Amino acid sequence: MKYPLTVGAMMEHAEKFFPKKEVISQTHDKLHRLTYKEVGKRTRRLMSALDKLGIEQGDKVGTLAWNTHRHLEIYFAAPGIGSILHTINIRLSPEHIIYIINHAEDKIIFVDKDILPLVDKLHPHLPTVKAYVVMTDKEELPENSLPNVYSYEELLQEGDETYPFTRDIDEDSAAGMCYTSATTGKPKGVLYTHRAIALHSYALGLADTAAISESDVAMAVVPQFHVNAWGMPFACTWFGSTQVMPGPRFTPKRLATFIEEYKVTISAGVPTIWLGLLKELDENSYDTSSLRGVLCGGSAAPLSMVRAFEQKYNIPFFHAYGATETTPLATYSRLKSYQQDLSPDERANEKTRQGILVPGLEMKVIDENGEIPWDDETMGELLLKGPWIADTYYKDERSKTAFIDGWYHTGDVVTVDEEGTMKIVDRTGDLIKSGGEWISSVELENAIMAHEAVFEASVVAIPDEKWDERPIACVVLHDQYKDKVAKSDIAEYLKPQFAKFWLPDDYLFVDEIPKTSVGKFLKRELRKQVLEHLNLA
Amino acid sequence: MKYPLTVGAMMEHAEKFFPKKEVISQTHDKLHRLTYKEVGKRTRRLMSALDKLGIEQGDKVGTLAWNTHRHLEIYFAAPGIGSILHTINIRLSPEHIIYIINHAEDKIIFVDKDILPLVDKLHPHLPTVKAYVVMTDKEELPENSLPNVYSYEELLQEGDETYPFTRDIDEDSAAGMCYTSATTGKPKGVLYTHRAIALHSYALGLADTAAISESDVAMAVVPQFHVNAWGMPFACTWFGSTQVMPGPRFTPKRLATFIEEYKVTISAGVPTIWLGLLKELDENSYDTSSLRGVLCGGSAAPLSMVRAFEQKYNIPFFHAYGATETTPLATYSRLKSYQQDLSPDERANEKTRQGILVPGLEMKVIDENGEIPWDDETMGELLLKGPWIADTYYKDERSKTAFIDGWYHTGDVVTVDEEGTMKIVDRTGDLIKSGGEWISSVELENAIMAHEAVFEASVVAIPDEKWDERPIACVVLHDQYKDKVAKSDIAEYLKPQFAKFWLPDDYLFVDEIPKTSVGKFLKRELRKQVLEHLNLA
């Protein structure tokens, strides 16, 4: 029958079939434990409040918020009345936040207590916003100069807990929206349809991907303001998982404590988060035996990280790959049944790969000669299509450079082996061309990060008269190794692993690698710093 | 992006990402082992053959066949060129088979070698069929009088192994078709869209339903001519499971042997199949330790069966529920995380329930007063809607009695507990009304079948002047108990379990319970026999 896939139906499923299961949410002031029955009622109250405030189908509902139950309620309430959940990255510059809100024409903004001062400053530049809602546990709102400001909890108190989810929605209409934190230029907006979110949630529930289940205690560390926390809040609600939300300004200590205390079974985050967690686990003792998996995405995890999780802490490690434009899950790394008897090191090595395509999508890898062979050597750009892949940026001229002939051009350079397992080797712009040959900055970085003294490393190209470009490595040492490790130590360590022309011309010890707001290496900025340092700028 | 879900894409995914995984298929003459790479090529050859034979988009491609790799290839080749896979139940009467083929207007019929004699007799009555294809391992076709008859393997030899799957298909167009083996009147046809099959396959892959995975060795015992073998061939191919196909006229011995030999991890079938397998396991010794689950549907499994699998053989038992009209998976029984410490008997009892709704569907249970409370006591008819629920019978006036206001009326009477877990208590027509109260024939049957002497039992209503209707039980004893168990033994056994007015008025020992072609009790026929026996007819 004609029956649209809708986000609202997912919350209704949780209300009916998982009414006793819980959402555990850390806010600024306290820890909340709510059942899906309660979260469902609160979501309905919120829908009635949005309705009363004049939010209509197709309107954008902006959020500037951490991972909490309130943010989760907006995840379902906004699409539940046919409006669009627009999560805004709180770490962007004020200029970009203003640009995004104006470009999306947000009608209402939900803001967490500690982000209120920022919004308070920006609001004169936000003419489309008709109302602000502050999310706080306190009865009194913090001081502010916002016009039309409401308390989240007061709105809910006045709301109707039987308000219905709108079901006569075209599944191809937008339910969500997120802007990429572009490294150059203005952020670019991506719309997520009801259909895309529902199908993507199925993909997260498959036994061979994240296998999100009722039996899970899931902690998404990846922010809810970043590509829907990789879709975890939607899938976990639909499938009845217990959800643990680390809330504002969490520390590695809080993550480790929550894992132990709530017996977290699966957690998802970027490599930077896992580096921090590993450091905490090294320094203090925690019971992490409940974890059936740690999901890593956003950037490539180095071999040393995979090894630490799998071999030192016995925590299965899963690489996933995607982008804002892909909702995001596109590939998932899991050994095949006939690869189970690999040695621990082969296994770890295999697990640094980004995995095979999730069922439902299509991929193609091309270079200047067309589709590359799947020989694990030839490099090409990854192209994707499928029902949860975007086909345009929201009202943006730059769409035509990324979406061509029905394919999304990811800008990621990959190799593929005969199993169809994909490995990111670089960004199209970050590959280094030396003497007519390609050098992968990512492979060099991962090799350097496998050195025990190294905390992080990034490799960038500098111009070279003879070779066109040459690689330079920037290295952050662990505290205890500072001043005890020399450039030559790292150079010697790399030598046996690569062809000679791949080896970096120099190693610069730095205090940190500049990163984007979502924890990816900001290579453009790093390259600028390197060029200045070498007096080449 | 606009991207249709198609059946062809599922086989392409297997070709690319699971090329080495195998399909193990027993035909009449030999055991075949083919990789998905080979099955993919053969499917493409078959598509080019269908094309050459003039099969066009929307044409019906009929099959009269067992579970084999060739049948699997047709599963993908027919929808792969936009035509419709029409699986025909080989156990139906010749009159019904003729009706079905003419009603569907099948253009071509694929027939297994041993079903050829039947088709040979029917063909003068099949004016729409332009070609017949015989599936056999032999070079020579068996003698027959069919016009335009082809050898499957010869067609493939002449085919093009690079023939492309058609992708520009409306996902709401039909990919498959199956007629219900109705207990009264002519069979009714149901169309399955590409969208329905793809979404249903996702549902089968979810961690909390069948969790079909690359690591599975899956043996669908449920016939491929019956509701797409519950969708297993589609899901297993898409997700890269090894598939084991028991082929024509399999025995419980073959099933047990295949489980041991190929380390089957999951198998699916109706209670009759599992009764046979249990008998075989009781009589001979097999290693069944590879099984992570046995999936049961079609009819309610008695408690004794659940106990035998879970407690005696340590094989997890999963009830699923669905119908031809529901593709079929609608509910799936799996204990929730907080139910894991039930005692073995509580657990077995819970596992006789049909489970909770699969994510993506909607259910409603109604009686004459509207929606019933979920109190585990009140009975009502189950109504379903969702993207893989049919909304009509194919060109059939009877649609309007089953599909009302957007809901499919299943005709199944159920109770629901506060967990949302559903239990079938009867068919709407089979409930017994005695003295104004409802008696569930299914609950009585299950209780009788829990008696160690009982192989099968069925309860039907006979007219009664005083009470309107009264229950009569028909009981098949295990061979070793025949003539050793009296009516009073069964009666005494039931007494403490039910209210007095529920207890059957009589127990008739019979040699077998008449069944439909798919193994369900044929109560209408049984009731007729009982009435004749009691001289009430």
- Position A184 scores a pLDDT of 64
In a domain, B239, yes or no: no
CATH of the domain at A437: 3.30.300.30
**What is the per-residue pLDDT across A444-499, written as a single tens digit (0 to 9) for each?**
998 999 899 999 999 999 988 888 889 999 999 999 999 999 999 999 999 998 88
- pLDDT over 70, % of chain B: 99
SS3 B199: helix
Say if residue A419 is in the same domain as residue A450: no
- Domain closes at, from B371, B402, B427: B427
CB contact under 8 A, A357 and B13: yes
Task: Mention every residue, 6+ apart, whose C-beta is less than 8 A from residue B313.
Answer: B278, B281, B288
A215 in contact with chain B, both atoms CB, cutoff 8 A: yes
CATH of the domain at A158: 3.40.50.12780
**What is the per-residue pLDDT across B302-336, written as a single tens digit (0 to 9) for each?**
888 999 999 999 999 999 999 999 999 999 999 99
Cα–Cα distance between B244 and A18 in angstroms, integer?
A: 35
Say if residue B423 is in the same domain as residue B446: no
Say if residue A370 is in the same domain as residue A461: no
- Both tokens assigned to A493: 């360590």
B466 in contact with chain A, both atoms CB, cutoff 8 A: no
Exactly one of A336, A433, A482, A495 is catalytic; name it.
A433
In a domain, A417, yes or no: yes
Say if residue A148 is in the same domain as residue A72: yes
| The pairing of beta strand A437-439 with beta strand A432-434 | antiparallel
Enter the ipTM.
0.90
Asked whether the beta carbons of A4 and A167 are under 8 A apart, the reply is yes
- Domain closes at, from A427, A448, A476: A427
A433 is catalytic: yes
CATH of the domain at A386: 2.30.38.10
Q: Which residues of A touch B240 (CB under 8 A)?
A: 208, 336
B239 in contact with chain A, both atoms CB, cutoff 8 A: yes
**What is the per-residue pLDDT across B83-121, written as a single tens digit (0 to 9) for each?**
999 999 998 889 999 999 999 999 999 999 999 999 999
Using CA coordinates, name the residue in chain A closest to B210. A207
The candidate with the shortest Cα–Cα distance to B56, out of B32, B36, B84, is: B84
In a domain, A496, yes or no: yes
H/E run at residue A37: helix A36-52
- C-alpha gyration radius of chain B: 23
CB contact under 8 A, A212 and B215: no
Which structural domain range is residue A470 located in?
433-533
- Position A428 scores a pLDDT of 81
CB contact under 8 A, A1 and B239: no
The alpha carbon torsion through A153, A158, A160, A161 (nearest 10 deg) reads 40
Q: pLDDT-based confidence at B537, cuts 50/70/90?
A: low
- Greatest CA separation for chain B: 72
Angle made by CA atoms A67, A70, A76, in degrees to the nearest 5: 100
Using CA coordinates, name the residue in chain B closest to A404. B1
CB contact under 8 A, B20 and A239: no
Exactly one of A325, A381, A443, A456 is catalytic; name it.
A325
- Position B184 scores a pLDDT of 64
Task: Report CA-CA distances (Å) from B267 to B114, B204, B206, B252, B272.
Answer: 25, 13, 16, 13, 14
Cα–Cα distance between A323 and A408 in angstroms, integer?
A: 11
- Position A302 scores a pLDDT of 85
- Both tokens assigned to B221: 């015992």
Say if residue B515 is in the same domain as residue B469: yes
In a domain, B230, yes or no: no
Cα–Cα distance between A236 and A265 in angstroms, integer?
A: 12
In a domain, B17, yes or no: yes
Say if residue B509 is in the same domain as residue B373: no
- How many folded domains does chain A comprise? 3
pLDDT above 70 (res A537): no
B341 in contact with chain A, both atoms CB, cutoff 8 A: no
pLDDT above 90 (res A43): yes
Cα–Cα distance between A278 and A284 in angstroms, integer?
A: 10
Cα–Cα distance between A369 and B324 in angstroms, integer?
A: 49
pLDDT above 80 (res A185): no
- Domain closes at, from A137, A163, A193: A193
Residue A423, min C-alpha distance to chain B (Å):
14
Say if residue A43 is in the same domain as residue A150: yes
CB contact under 8 A, B2 and A208: no
Say if residue B41 is in the same domain as residue B165: yes
Say if residue B84 is in the same domain as residue B177: yes
Say if residue A386 is in the same domain as residue A501: no
A-to-B residue pairs, Cβ atoms closer than 8 angstroms: 126
**What is the per-residue pLDDT across B166-196, written as a single tens digit (0 to 9) for each?**
988 999 999 999 998 765 678 999 999 999 9
In a domain, B263, yes or no: no
Cα–Cα distance between A62 and A169 in angstroms, integer?
A: 20
Cα–Cα distance between A51 and A252 in angstroms, integer?
A: 39
The candidate with the shortest Cα–Cα distance to B225, out of B82, B406, B92, is: B92
**What is the per-residue pLDDT across B415-426, written as a single tens digit (0 to 9) for each?**
999 999 999 988
- Both tokens assigned to A463: 């111009």
Cα–Cα distance between A22 and A245 in angstroms, integer?
A: 11
The candidate with the shortest Cα–Cα distance to A47, out of A161, A198, A195, A157, is: A161
- Position B298 scores a pLDDT of 85
Say if residue B54 is in the same domain as residue B186: yes
**What is the per-residue pLDDT across B266-294, written as a single tens digit (0 to 9) for each?**
999 999 899 999 999 999 999 999 999 99
The stretch B200-223 carries a mean pLDDT of: 98
In a domain, A416, yes or no: yes
Is the four-CA dihedral B452, B453, B458, B462 of positive or negative sign? negative
Task: Report CA-CA distances (Å) from A350 to A80, A272, A317, A451, B265.
Answer: 41, 21, 11, 19, 25
pTM of this structure: 0.91
Asked whether the beta carbons of A39 and A72 are under 8 A apart, the reply is yes
Say if residue A75 is in the same domain as residue A153: yes
